[in-house]
Structure 1
């Protein structure tokens, strides 16, 4: 059995002075797997891109992430063109316009319903239909698909000056106008007035990305998928691949796993603390993964319960894989390195 383990946020772009807090981390299983594994730099810039490529999804101007995440949330994308329209807060910092996503906003479903209803009324003539799929994650159906619209993922935009990563291409200017109208509408909405009275950040814009139509005739690549992320679960649904939530530990996963083919597991608990630079939460989460996942998987590999383990790390537009077999564990001449030695490697 070959286990493909996706770990976004494993090598985050923490500042050099911050990395000093990582030097006493005890991660014997993880550093062994990294040292003994065959390392490759992948062409994919993100986990989303890797997933789409692996499942045979064709990229037009964007990867059609919105359609798959809608499918994962019980929606029916049909043959329509969809965008993610993530609710965000934009803050002017001198000459920079910086984005904070819904993870910092604590939006309620009632607020999401009210805000999207106002947007739907305003943009009805434009053929835009907003759906508050979840309180912090909205989808947008376009009656008139754009001829060429290039967007950037929300993860790319969080905490950054967004002026240079706004929607672009021949349809970019139209979307700049749509975003301006959205910001004016949301600025004076009663929901945001009430939020500000309670000391909460207003939801003063949206972030559109991941546009496209749900592709057909995709073929399964894994016999089973274990993931909590919406894109992964949407890809599983589109390919009729059995999918389950990620177990708490690798021991539970091994007990539930059958067969000797390819299995996909997505461990994304490091993604949020890495994205927001929360070193302490990232550190504690990694220690739990070492105990609950990396150590049991190393043991399972050495006992031939799995034939190969491939770890995939996605950070700051870089993707790397580390593939290790049972016999690779005996290559003791491959010296182990501390985890921070992998940070920033291309």
Structure 2
């Protein structure tokens, strides 16, 4: 038998949609824990990184280009971004893939930025159009940059850092913004009805670690369409694209087998239950799954074991923002 984990979005993402009675009854019998909220914390529960670091730039660079382990080198993501001022401040509206960045965009915008960063002693390139990288000396001091997923749509003053290291990078970011704002390529993007690439988002700095799967049962396989989790999993487990529905894997052939399915992008609760939860519960009933865990982005963790079916006295229960029928 096997261990299966489903990563879910924050319950509020499902709005007023309702849980099915059989699913609510099943997870009412589960062990429930409250963990640290947020996407970063959710992912960190399943992949260990040294000293609490978050070197996503090096991990994704290794996937994208295979050279992240270069001696005396650290990496920092400097992803193309769209910032928009409003009456309350400045907000991150989109970044990376959401901007539809093409190779033509890179060819037009990177040369001027590369010259700017070379003057600061850093090398900028883009092995993938939506993911841009700064190659840094290993001992470069970096502040704690927020992930773009945490900052999306928020007033960036919430992430203000006044440390000397942050001031240096804020100055480099401002210089890049001026260059991008004045670049004629952004006028062409606007004329074509596309959002501007008017900023860079620094994040995920560090050196390439030896990432390994965390927790009790190491995931033998990770299924995700998220580039961040793909990069985290690549060094410790196999990473594959997320299937459209529960694939009824033969995980019971290996008593220690474990699989993680990243369902955090789902917003249709009916699809989640019909295509994933109900088939997985049926597989547990047949003895093919020993533990089924739901881990949501708000930090709610439901761990359901086969013997929990004996807890018949327990009331139905689901993640807090949804109501069982």
Q: What does residue 89 of structure 2 align with?
A: 96
Question: Secondary structure in 2 aligned to 1:228?
Answer: coil
Does the C-alpha gap of structure 1 residues 136 and 243 become closer, same or farther in structure 2, counting only changes over 3 Å? closer
Deviations 1:206-251 (A, max 9, x none): 1111111111374773333333333333333323x3333222222x
Q: CA deviation at 1:13?
A: 6.3
Residue number in structure 2 paired with 1:298: 281
1:18-37 residue pairs with structure 2 within 5 A? 19=15, 21-22=16-17, 25-37=18-30
Cα deviation for residue 131 of structure 1 reads 2.5
- Three-state SS of the structure 1 residue aligned to 2:67 is coil
- The equivalent residue for 2:62 is 71
CA contact (8 A) 1:228 1:266 kept: no
Structure 1 residue 145: Cα displacement: 4.1
**Structure 1 unaligned residues grouped into runs of 5+:** 272-281
Match among 326, 330, 341 for residue 306 of structure 2: 326
Change (3 A) 1:257 1:89: farther
Counterpart for residue 237 of structure 1: 234
Does residue 137 of the first structure (1) align with residue 131 of the second (2)? yes
Q: Which moved more, 1:49-58 or 1:178-187?
A: 49-58
Unaligned runs of 5+ in 2: none
Distance 1:262 1:153 in 2: 31
1 CA distance for matches of 2:211 and 2:158?
36
8 Å Cα contact 1:129-1:142 kept in structure 2: yes
- RMSD (Å) for aligned C-alpha atoms: 2.7
Q: Shift of the alpha carbon at 1:257?
A: 6.8
Where does residue 279 of structure 1 map in the other structure?
A: none
* 1:214–1:167 Cα change, 3 Å: farther
CA change 1:132–1:32 in 2 (3 A) is: farther
- TM norm structure 2: 0.86
Q: Cα 1:270–1:244, aligned 2, differ >3 Å: closer, same or farther?
A: closer
Match of 1:127 in 2: 121
1:12 aligns with 2:7: no
1:169 to 1:302, Cα distance in 2 relative to 1, 3 A = farther
Residue 298 of structure 1 and its aligned partner are, at CA, apart by 0.5
180 and 327 in structure 1: CA distance in 2 versus 1, 3 angstrom threshold:
same
Q: How far is the alpha carbon of 1:52 from its aligned partner? A: 3.7
Between the two proteins, the alignment pairs up a number of residues equal to: 317
Which runs of structure 2 are paired with 1:66-215 in the superposition (5 Å)?
A: 66-78=57-69, 79=71, 80-102=73-95, 104-143=98-137, 145-166=139-160, 169-215=163-209
**Within 5 A, what are the aligned runs for 1:256-295?**
258-270=253-265, 282=267, 284=268, 286-295=269-278
1:224 to 221, 228, 248: 221
CA contact (8 A) 1:87 1:136 kept: yes
